[in-house]
Amino acid sequence: MRVAVLDDYQDVASGLVDWNAIPDAQVEFFRGPIGEPARLVSTLQPFQVLVTTRERTRLPAAVLEGLPKLRLIAGTGRNQPHVDIDTATRLGIVVCGTEGGGSGSSTAELTWGLILACVRHIPWEDRQLRQGRWQTRLGAGVEGKTLGILGLGRIGTKVARVAQAFGMRVNAWGPTLTHERVAEQGVTYVSWEGLFADADVVSVHVRLTDLSRGWVTSRELGLMKPTAYLINTARDAIVDQAALVEALRSGAIAGAGLDVFDEEPLPPDHPLLSLDNVVLTPHLGYASQETLAEFFQGAIESIQAWAKGEPQNVLNT
């Protein structure tokens, strides 16, 4: 059995779990993105199993149809939106997810790293200090300020608890939220407009769906205070990227902390890279040692179960 582990950006997959636990398998690790569909097909043709690292590589119909030996996609995470499930099913390719990495702690922690980095200008001051400049921007505290959370699920709830520990007021809005549900978390339910208008920091924590795609537009950004920050560790398509760049350039909002982008890896000519009021991280929300180890262990267990003829966590039954 030949197994390809895709998009091991940080070159850590081989050491996080025991890949020898897969019987009679030759495992190959691909560190960087392989590239366009034609190159994907030519590179992956020898493999019977693909292990995908979250959604880093898209596997559309044109790619799957060019991989006649492929029998299993052992994905990491509960859902595999980057895979054409219908085509995989038609071709007899089993697609599995994992139950691992479900706590949301790593993303919630990164969210707070971005919030504090923004309001205290930590990356900016680090760069200035290395260039011989001392105290160039005045940061702000978060105590007594308002955090607006778009989506109060697993991750949003963890972010809210930290905000409360810092002495912040927390507002929330979500399509299924009610006053009673948010009150149980000590959070205030607000209107859609109020979420943006009242917040000193707005943090996005909803799943990307047909409903949430493009939710945050120039209108919502225009409702925010010029001193406010937008944080997005969810999915880029929830926020209109062109509108966000314009709001950052014009000073309509003070800044942003972003972990997700419309193109990943981010190309060197992306407009966000030219702005000095945005803190950027390369989609690190889930990419902690603990979460990736849990994900890859789940993928190994998916392969083991499939090899025994008893596939688990199958998404295309």
Neighbours of 296 (CB within 10 A): 26
Overall size of the chain counted in residues? 317
Give the integer Cα–Cα distance in Å for 170 and 182: 10
> Do 275 and 297 reside in the same domain of the chain?
no
The closest alpha carbon to 56, from 292, 308, 298, 300, belongs to 292
Residue 235 appears among annotated catalytic residues: yes
Respond yes or no: is residue 283 known to be catalytic: yes
* Count of helix runs (H) and strand runs (E) in the chain: 12, 12
pLDDT for res 137: 97
On whether both 174 and 243 belong to a single domain, the answer is yes
Q: Examine residue 9 and state whether it is found in any structural domain, yes or no.
A: yes
Q: What are 220's two structure tokens? A: 């919502």
Output the pLDDT for position 102: 58
> Which amino acid is it at 155?
I
pLDDT along the chain (317 residues), means of 10: 96 97 96 92 98 94 98 93 96 91 82 98 98 98 98 96 98 94 96 98 95 97 98 97 98 98 94 98 92 95 97 91
Q: What is the CATH number of the domain that holds 13?
A: 3.40.50.720
Q: Are residues 256 and 297 in the same domain?
A: no
Annotated catalytic residue 2: no
The residue annotated as part of the active site, out of 205, 235, 294, 301, is 235
Tell whether 122 and 270 lie within a shared domain. yes
Q: Is residue 127 part of a domain?
A: yes
| pLDDT of the residue at 79 | 86
Cα 249 from Cα 272, distance rounded (Å): 9
Residue (of 282, 311, 307) closest to 97 by Cα position: 311
Contact 253, 228 (CB under 8 A): yes
The verdict on 109 and 216 lying in the same domain is: yes
Q: Are residues 72 and 170 in the same domain?
A: no
Marked catalytic residue, from 205, 283, 294, 301: 283
**d(Cα 139, Cα 257) in Å, to the nearest integer?**
15
Residue given tokens 């709830």 in the structure block: 157
Are 256 and 220 within 8 A, CB to CB?
A: no
235 within a domain of the structure (yes/no): yes
Q: Are residues 90 and 140 in the same domain?
A: no
Q: Name the residue range of residue 258's domain.
A: 105-280
Active-site residue, selected from the candidate residues 65, 109, 125, 264: 264
C-alpha distances (whole Å) from 71 to each of 1, 76, 86, 194, 303 are: 10, 16, 14, 49, 11
Same domain, 91 and 149: no
- Shared domain check, 35 and 122: no
How far is CA 262 from each of CA 81, 90, 286, rounded to the nearest angstrom?
A: 15, 30, 18
- Output the pLDDT for position 158: 97
- Could you tell me if residue 314 is inside a domain? no
As a three-state string, the secondary structure of 140-205 is CCCCCCEEEEECCCHHHHHHHHHHHHCCCEEEEECCCCCHHHHHCCCCEECCHHHHHHHCCEEEEC
Number of structural domains found in the chain: 2
